[in-house]
């Protein structure tokens, strides 16, 4: 079995799990207040949008070797990761967890968000600078 086959199978399994998570959300949406439905739709749209950006930027980096595309791909991956955990665990963690686990979870979540913002900003500014140099 080749490396591509293993990666493809792993991707398929992850895709099926995400699809099952989405189906679970759709089934339980009608049992939630309307404001929670809007919040979960927003998280799903953000997750899908960041996956699309990552899926376009990684191949663009491989084709051009321009680092801004890599920055944008990692930033989109950070935000997709953050949204996935919010979809899995909800906006708040279950009660009764030790304070150290809560601190670790929220600390990691904020670190990923900040890293994603820095990477997005770096990628966009770098692409804008490259475009500006080409115009002159």
Mean pLDDT within 33-55: 80
**CA–CA gap between residue 106 and residue 82 (Å, rounded):** 11
pLDDT value at position 88? 77
> What is the CB neighbour count within 10 angstroms for residue 111?
12
Mean pLDDT of the chain: 80
pLDDT, mean of residues 6-14: 62
Residue 93: pLDDT over 90: no
User: Using CA atoms, how far apart are residues 31 and 51, in angstroms rounded to an integer?
Assistant: 28
Share of the chain above pLDDT 70, in %: 79
- Beta-carbon count within 10 A of 33 CB: 8
Tell me: pLDDT of 75 over 90.
Answer: yes
Report the alpha-carbon distance of residue 93 to residue 73 in Å, rounded.
Answer: 28
What does the pLDDT average to over 93-101? 80
Mean pLDDT of 30-52: 78
Map tokens 């791909």 to a residue. 73
Q: 27, exposed or middle or buried, with CB in 10 Å at 0-12, 13-18, 19+? A: exposed
Of 25-34, 40-49, 62-71, 113-122, which gets the smallest average pLDDT? 25-34
Which DSSP category does 94 fall into? P
Q: In terms of residues, how long is the chain?
A: 136
Residue range 20-37: mean pLDDT, rounded? 70
The pTM assigned to this predicted structure is 0.73
Per-domain residue ranges for the chain?
32-135
pLDDT of residue 72: 92
Q: What is the pLDDT of residue 123?
A: 92
């Amino acid at each position: 079995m080749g490396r591509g086959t293993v990666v493809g199978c792993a991707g398929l399994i992850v895709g099926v799990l995400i699809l099952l998570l989405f189906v679970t959300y759709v089934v339980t949406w009608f049992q939630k207040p309307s404001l929670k439905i809007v919040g979960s739709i927003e998280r799903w749209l953000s997750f899908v949008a960041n996956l699309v950006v990552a899926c376009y930027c990684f191949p663009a980096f491989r084709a051009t070797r321009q680092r801004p595309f890599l920055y944008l791909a990692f930033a989109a991956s950070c935000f997709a990761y953050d949204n996935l955990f919010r979809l899995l665990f909800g906006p708040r963690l279950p009660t009764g967890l030790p304070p150290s686990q809560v601190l670790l979870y929220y600390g990691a979540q904020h670190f990923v968000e900040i890293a994603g913002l820095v990477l997005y900003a770096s990628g966009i500014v770098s692409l804008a600078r490259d475009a500006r140099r080409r115009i002159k």
